[in-house]
């Protein structure tokens, strides 16, 4: 007899799942009966929050959902922070949990791991949460989840299976095949409208977000055709190559870039929420789009949030960008403003160069040293100072190589487990670097043992400033006496060694190069500590 739990694993294999992140427990062992005989690799984190962050990092590099097996009750409360991060950034994640038997749901009898309503608990951090009330429902519930991942705005999905359903006879479901759903095409009438507005624009501009990553080739050609400067959100870095003459990077929060955006007469926003943490990281307001706004998004609701469009198109970003480009190719383009395009972008970078302070320059040198030494590296960031600087100053040649938790939901401790997932998702053995501060690392430090166990050779670059320095500065700037920010800093090198990781330290460019070269030769993780004070002195 094949149980529901066993058939679930078969169905996941059919949908291309090759990794599952989770911690086995008495309420999930029936999922593992099928997993042991499957081709799926199981990764055991040290906390369910780590499982969620690993699934997030995996999804960002692989481009398909990360999957977690999570136990009832505390497992679900532990993973909700990671689900919140993925929800904020539109990352596909499938969280499959157990739940009390059907007759016990909401009973309040004090059962092990009992919650009054587990599905309601996670509703705010999931696209949907569904309880499978019989084994027969399983294929359709999974199909619904993967339809969202394939054709909608990808966000976490939670599926819970009661303990008694997990062991139901599901032989009749063994022949079920996965369902594939195509993404929405572009409505011709809206494409024509957008094409005409862009064709007649004298100063067009493109704002592209993480939802447009798969449209990189079409958007690059579109920008070249229009001579349109292109601003990228943090999650879209690399969509245009770093040296592209129309790239204005992710500098939208700065006055000089805001002035450029305000000069545009037609703005195409594609795959972006136009959210505060992408366009106003000072949280002071002031980002304006006075020009005619065109919006393309896979989510209908998102096309009208934050900024009102003149024309909105609900479609897959790549399909829509290709359709708009084809429309433009049918239309004679008038002469552009001669001071726009490449000329205006070059002036922007010239204006920005002298505005970087000493700390930003030093942290940018730190990041550029990493990329010069490991040119193929993926950089996974936490909320830490070099990441804040890199969000502004760093540009890359390919997408899916720079993502972090410093914007959007903004959780601490993300980078270490997410880097583990990113290395597994990348699957090609090329380097993955975790950028994390001493405060953030203490949230998820035990996951270093998970990296050792999984033999993932991630490189953890620990930017150590002995406390929550950014928050301390924020308090001082607001005339608040600092409290709770000067925390005890452990011996990270000693702790990392105890967890089985290789260790090193680097306090100048040459030491960092050597440490990175040594790290990529290893089979497991390496923690490299950078003392902020010593690095700044060396500059």
- CATH code for the domain of 28: 3.40.50.970
E strands in 107-163 = 128-131, 156-162
Does 155 lie in the same domain as 223? no
Domain end call among 148, 173, 198: 173
Domain end call among 290, 324, 353: 353
- Residues 6 or more apart whose CB falls under 8 angstroms from that of 107 comprise 100, 114
Does residue 178 lie within any of the structural domains? no
CA-only gyration radius of the chain, Å = 24
DSSP track, 522-537: -SS-EEEEEEHHHHHH
CB 163 within 8 A of CB 35: no
Does 377 lie in the same domain as 336? no
The CB density around residue 33, as the number of other CB atoms within 10 Å, is 15
Does 200 lie in the same domain as 137? no
pTM (whole model) above 0.85: yes
- Residues 6 or more apart whose CB falls under 8 angstroms from that of 140 comprise none
Which of 291, 277, 282 is CA-nearest to residue 233? 277
> What would you measure as the largest C-alpha separation in the chain, in angstroms?
74
| CATH number of the structural domain spanning residue 226 | 3.40.50.1220
> What is the full per-residue pLDDT of the chain (539 aa) written as tens digits?
899 999 999 999 999 999 999 999 988 999 999 898 899 999 999 999 999 999 999 999 999 999 999 999 999 999 999 999 999 999 999 999 988 878 777 777 777 777 888 989 999 999 999 999 999 999 999 999 999 999 999 999 999 999 999 999 988 888 888 999 998 899 999 999 999 999 999 999 999 999 999 999 999 999 999 999 999 999 999 999 999 999 999 999 999 999 999 999 999 999 999 988 887 766 667 789 999 999 999 999 999 998 999 999 999 999 999 999 999 988 888 878 889 999 999 999 999 999 999 999 999 999 999 999 999 999 999 999 999 999 999 999 999 999 999 988 889 999 999 999 999 999 999 999 999 999 999 999 999 999 999 999 999 999 998 888 888 888 898 899 989 888 888 999 999 999 999 999 999 999 999 999 999 999 999 999 999 887 888 77
Does residue 182 lie within any of the structural domains? no
Does 166 lie in the same domain as 205? no
CA distances in angstroms from 48 to 44, 71, 158, 162, 401, listed in the order given: 9, 9, 14, 19, 25
Taking the C-alpha atoms of residue 302 and residue 298, their distance in angstroms, rounded to an integer, is 8
Does 204 lie in the same domain as 138? no
Kindly state the DSSP code that residue 435 receives in the 8-state scheme. E
Residue 323 domain boundaries = 188-353
Does 442 lie in the same domain as 488? yes
Does 330 lie in the same domain as 202? yes
């Amino acid at each position: 007899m094949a149980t529901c739990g066993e058939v679930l694993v078969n169905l996941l294999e059919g949908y291309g799942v090759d990794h599952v992140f989770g911690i086995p427990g008495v309420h999930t062992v029936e999922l593992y009966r099928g997993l042991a005989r499957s081709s799926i690799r199981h990764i055991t984190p040290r906390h369910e929050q780590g499982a969620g962050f690993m699934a997030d990092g995996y999804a960002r590099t692989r481009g398909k959902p990360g999957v977690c097996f999570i136990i009832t009750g505390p497992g679900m409360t532990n993973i909700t922070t990671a689900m919140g991060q993925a929800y904020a950034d539109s990352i596909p994640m499938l969280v499959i949990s157990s739940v009390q038997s059907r007759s016990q749901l909401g009973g309040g009898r004090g059962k092990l791991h009992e919650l009054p309503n587990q599905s309601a608990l996670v509703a705010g951090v999931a696209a949907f949460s569904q309880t499978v009330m019989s084994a027969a429902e399983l294929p359709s519930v999974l199909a619904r989840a993967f339809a969202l991942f394939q054709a909608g705005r990808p966000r976490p999905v939670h599926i819970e299976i009661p303990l008694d359903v997990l062991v139901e006879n599901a032989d009749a479901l063994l022949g079920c095949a996965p369902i594939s759903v195509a993404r929405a095409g572009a409505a011709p009438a809206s494409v024509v409208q957008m094409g005409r507005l862009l064709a007649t624009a004298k100063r067009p501009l493109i704002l592209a977000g993480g939802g447009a990553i798969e449209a990189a080739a079409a958007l690059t050609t579109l920008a070249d055709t229009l001579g349109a400067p292109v601003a990228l959100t943090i999650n879209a870095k690399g969509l245009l190559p770093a040296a592209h003459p129309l790239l204005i990077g992710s500098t939208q929060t700065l006055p000089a870039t805001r002035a450029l955006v305000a000069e545009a007469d037609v703005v195409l926003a594609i795959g972006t929420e136009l959210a505060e943490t992408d366009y106003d990281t000072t949280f002071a307001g002031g980002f304006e789009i006075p020009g005619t706004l065109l919006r393309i998004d896979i989510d209908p609701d998102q096309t009208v949030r934050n900024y009102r469009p003149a024309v909105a198109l609900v479609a897959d970003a790549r399909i829509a960008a290709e359709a708009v480009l084809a429309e433009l190719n049918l239309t004679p383009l008038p002469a552009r403003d001669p001071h726009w395009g490449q000329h205006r972008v070059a002036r922007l970078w010239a204006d920005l160069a002298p505005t970087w302070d000493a700390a930003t320059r030093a942290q940018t040198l730190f990041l550029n040293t990493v990329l010069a030494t490991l040119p193929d590296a993926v950089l996974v960031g936490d909320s830490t100072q070099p990441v804040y600087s890199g969000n502004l100053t760093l540009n890359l040649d390919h997408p899916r190589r720079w993502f972090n938790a410093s914007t959007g939901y903004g959780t601490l401790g993300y980078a270490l487990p997410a880097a583990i997932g990113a290395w597994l998702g990348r699957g090609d053995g090329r380097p993955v670097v975790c950028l994390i501060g001493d405060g953030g690392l203490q949230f998820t430090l035990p996951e270093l043992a998970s990296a050792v166990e999984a033999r993932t050779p991630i490189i953890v670059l620990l930017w150590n400033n002995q406390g929550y320095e950014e928050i301390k500065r924020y308090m001082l700037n607001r005339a608040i006496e600092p409290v709770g920010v000067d925390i005890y800093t452990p011996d990270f090198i000693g702790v990392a060694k105890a967890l089985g990781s290789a260790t090193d330290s680097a306090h100048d460019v040459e030491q960092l190069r050597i440490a990175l070269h040594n790290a990529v030769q290893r089979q497991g993780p390496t923690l490299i500590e950078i003392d902020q004070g010593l690095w700044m002195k060396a500059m």
